[in-house]
Structure 1
Amino acid sequence: MDNDFLEDFAQMALDLHGEESVHETVDRVLQYALKAVHCGYAGVVFVHNGQRIETAAATDSLVADLEAIQVECGEGPDIDVLADRYSVIVGDTRTETRWPRWAHAVSQAGIRSLLSVRMYTSSSTVGTLNLYDEQPNRFDVADQEVAHVLARHAAVALASAREEEHLWQAIDSRKRIGQAQGILMERYNIDEERAFAVLMRYSQSRNMKLRAVAEKLVSTRDLPH
């Protein structure tokens, strides 16, 4: 690897870990993927509860259609990578035999090559990074190695961004509940514990999340009817 390549990857790591949200992190991953591997399209797929897959971001609307083909066919490289592989290279979808229905549909869409790499941390699988191209045999082992490095950095950055978003959501939720309690305490001259009990009662009787009840009260100054 030359010095420029190493500097690019060092900057990539800093940029990825510096993003503040999952959305921004995913977009940055795709930018670097196109630059690092020089392919036509790129996409990131998230896996939920180890089963359901979702296209989190893509450089073109075509990518989401390509990912949907795997769900519809029930077969494809993404599914295998998430299950028991770290990466898959498809040299030519017109001659691919491992996933015939998927390969036929993708080749009909004009895509001939694919490189799919698992994004994972030491504790969980985040999803996959998928690179596509209209030319056959576009990806080689060197591209696979580059994609692996990018995917590992992306997985750690995304896991961190998710945790940070959940943390801020929890903090914001607690803040809203506190504000709602304050409104009830002032309005009905009750203490903090009783105000919380009122919110809980409305949450259970209306089958609404506690945060939703609090947000309703804070924004309208009235409890849900």
Structure 2
Amino acid sequence: MSLLDLPGGGVAERFAQLAIDLHDSGGVEETVEAVVGFALQALACSHAGVALIVRGGRLEIPATTDPVVAEIYALQLAGGKGPLAESMGNHVVVLVRDTTTDDRWPEWAGKVLELGVRSVLDVPLTTAAGTVGVLGLYSTQPDAFGPDEEAIAHILARHASVAVASARHEKNLAQAVDARKLVGQAMGILMERYNLDGDRAFAILRRYSQTTSTKLQDVAAQLIETRKLPH
């Protein structure tokens, strides 16, 4: 049973619960796993997955419900042609009603058909900063995604976009806090050993960071571990 089959406020209740589950997720991977798990229930699709853009423009596949999805993503990661690339690059929803008749990406469609997939719905995950990834929905049945399914996929994608952006922000904040702690400890070592004030100790760490092309937190970590500045 999909959400479309639920009586009364079933759809709203399920999405309200999803919002709570995503808020309670521990990180990016946990967040997207909750999203793809919900997609199976919400849309009665055969498989689902999420592809995320990471640093350098690379794609990362943090969650899939079946190895088939990873194979489908791999086809596009290698060749760069297909609905995933189209959805991510142009920030649009891409629907493949039937891989036996769709002629936009014939090579991709043929290989996906061999994997048993007949219809595909790719929905971009977008925030104010741009597209952060794509939610991919797959079915072994042709024409599995109609207007109602697409509408629900849009709502799910919006929930996922906000949750992923929030999880990434929290992760970045945690990393920033850890970096500040390392730099603070390293400054303390320099201040004690050489009788320096805080500004001078920080200036020394920054100079070593610049002259050795090493991140400031890595210089600090090495000083803490070895009690010596890098050569």
TM-score by length of 2: 0.88
The counterpart of 1:3, out of the listed 2, 9, 13, is 9
2: CA distance between counterparts of 1:50 and 1:212? 21
Specify which of 48, 72, 75 is matched with residue 69 of structure 1.
75
Report the alpha carbon displacement of residue 82 of structure 1 after superposing the two structures with TM.
2.0
Secondary structure of residue in 1 paired with 2:191: helix
SS in 1 for 2:63: strand
Letter of the 1:31 counterpart: G
Whichever residue aligns with residue 47 of structure 1, its letter is I
1:122-155 superposed Cα distances (whole Å, 9 cap, x missing partner)? 3421111001122322222221111110000110
> What is the CA–CA distance in structure 1 between the aligned matches of 2:187 and 2:68, rounded to whole Å?
48
CA–CA separation in structure 2 for the residues paired with 1:178 and 1:51: 32
Q: Select the residue among 152, 160, 164 that pairs with 2:166.
A: 160
Contact persistence 2:99–2:118 (CA under 8 A): yes
In the aligned structure 1, how far is the partner of 2:54 from the partner of 2:185? 33
Residue 105 of structure 1, aligned match among 111, 116, 125 = 111
2:23 corresponds to which letter in structure 1? H
Task: Give 3-state SS (helix, strand or coil) of 1:120's partner.
Answer: strand
1:133 and 2:142 matched: no
Matched, 1:217 2:223: yes
Looking at structure 1, the residues matched to 130 and 226 of structure 2 have their Cα atoms a distance apart, in angstroms, of: 41
Whether 1:195 aligns to 2:201 is: yes
- Displacement of 1:49 in angstroms is 7.3
1:119/1:151 contact within 8 Å kept: yes
Aligned partners of 1:64, 1:4: CA distance in 2, in Å?
31
Please tell me whether the aligned partners of residues 91 and 131 of structure 2 are also in contact (alpha carbons under 8 angstroms).
no
Where 1:136 maps in the other structure, the secondary structure is: coil
Match of 1:38 among 33, 38, 44: 44
Q: Secondary structure at the match of 2:230?
A: coil
SS at match of 1:42: strand
Counterpart CA distance in 2 for 1:26 and 1:164 is: 15
Tell me, yes or no, if the aligned pair for 1:73 and 1:101 is still in contact at 8 Å: no
Q: Distance in 2 between matches of 1:209 and 1:105?
A: 44
Matching residue of 1:181: 187
Whole-angstrom distance in 2 between the partners of 1:190 and 1:12: 53
| Contact 1:93/1:111 (8 A) holds in 2 | yes
Go from structure 1 to structure 2 and tell me whether the alpha carbon gap of 1:194 and 1:85 turns closer, same or farther (over 3 Å shift): closer
Q: Are the equivalent residues in 2 in contact too, given 1:119–1:152 (CA < 8 A)? A: yes
By how many angstroms is 1:181 displaced? 0.4
Where structure 2 has 5 or more consecutive residues not aligned to the other structure, the ranges are 1-6
- Deviation per CA, 1:22-81, whole angstroms, max 9, x where unpaired? 222111111111111122211111235795433232223332221121133331111221
Q: Say whether residues 1:122 and 2:132 are aligned partners.
A: no
Percent identity, please. 49
Matched to 2:125, the amino acid is: M
RMSD in angstroms over aligned alpha carbons? 2.1
Alpha-carbon deviation of 1:219?
3.1
Q: Secondary structure at the match of 1:178?
A: helix
Corresponding residue pairs, total: 225
